[in-house]
Amino acid sequence: MTAKEFNLLELSALICIIISEENGVLMQLHLDALQNEVSGCNKRIGVLEDALSSMDSRIIHLEKADERLCKENNALKEKAELLENHSRKYNMRILGLTTDAEQGNQTGYVSILLNEMFGDKLQLMPEVENAHRIGPMTKSGQRAMIVRMQRLVMREEILCVARKEKVFEARGMKLRFFPDLTANTAKARASYREVRNKLWNAGIKHGIIHPATLVLTFRGETRRFTDNVAAETYVKTVIEPAMENKEYLLKEGMHWC
């Protein structure tokens, strides 16, 4: 090997060393940069995890607070509904009264009208505490009349007669009488319609007591239901199987008013 060739080999080796060192430096720089980025990502992930943990805690707290507020709100709604139903317990609605028939004296007019209509049908003369129009005018130009009776028994007797006769003709008017119910109570009572039809067809003594409780008597036992699902279940599982015995139907009394 000549001196020239040896120098070339040394130069080549030196160049390789320099390139290797340069590549090592560059790679180290890239690795350091990547490590810094990874470290930054880890820090950000840690911050996000802490934030998520805090949000989870807040969400759990808010869910518990929401559940508590919902329960309190439902309790208040039930209480308000109960109080409103209680305040309407002595009331009834009269439909069909012509406009201004009372000529500004609703209480006096309704009192005289009820005495004319029910005086011979009730044990006592109906006494009206207050009466007033309510709601928008219908297409026929009429508005419902809310009547508050002084005695609950009078209100019940009038409504009992009204359920039997449906429509009354008085002073050229066709009048109908209904209990004064809240929208929720009216809806709850209407939910018993299918069950009551079955009870009527079966000849089972039953009725609705204020505000929306279904009461029925079967085999000498009186049951009360506050929702139509439970009543329907009782009819299907207890009453309908017993209806196969025709002798039992002959022993049942008439419907409640």
What SS3 class is residue 245? coil
CA neighbor of 203 nearest in space, from 231, 230, 159, 242: 242
Window from 11-25, 28-42, 56-70, 187-201 with minimum mean pLDDT: 11-25
pLDDT value for 256: 42
CA dihedral 131, 137, 138, 141 (to 10 degrees): 90
User: What is the spatial distance between Cα 56 and Cα 66, in angstroms, rounded to a whole number?
Assistant: 15
CA dihedral 4, 5, 7, 10 (to 10 degrees): 180
Which spans in the chain are helix H?
3-87, 106-118, 152-165, 183-190, 193-202, 228-234, 240-242, 246-251
Tens digits of per-residue pLDDT, 176-204?
999 999 999 999 999 999 999 999 988 88
Tens digits of per-residue pLDDT, 131-175?
999 877 777 668 899 999 999 999 999 999 998 888 999 888 999
The answer to whether 110 and 94 have CB atoms below 8 angstroms apart is yes
pTM listed for this prediction = 0.63
Strands 91-95 and 128-134: unpaired
Two structure tokens written together for 162: 């009204």
Tens digits of per-residue pLDDT, 221-245?
999 999 999 999 999 988 888 876 6
**Average pLDDT of the chain, as a whole number:** 85
Query: Helix/strand/coil (H, E, C) string of 80-91?
Result: HHHHHHHHCCCE
* Residue type (1 letter), 254: M
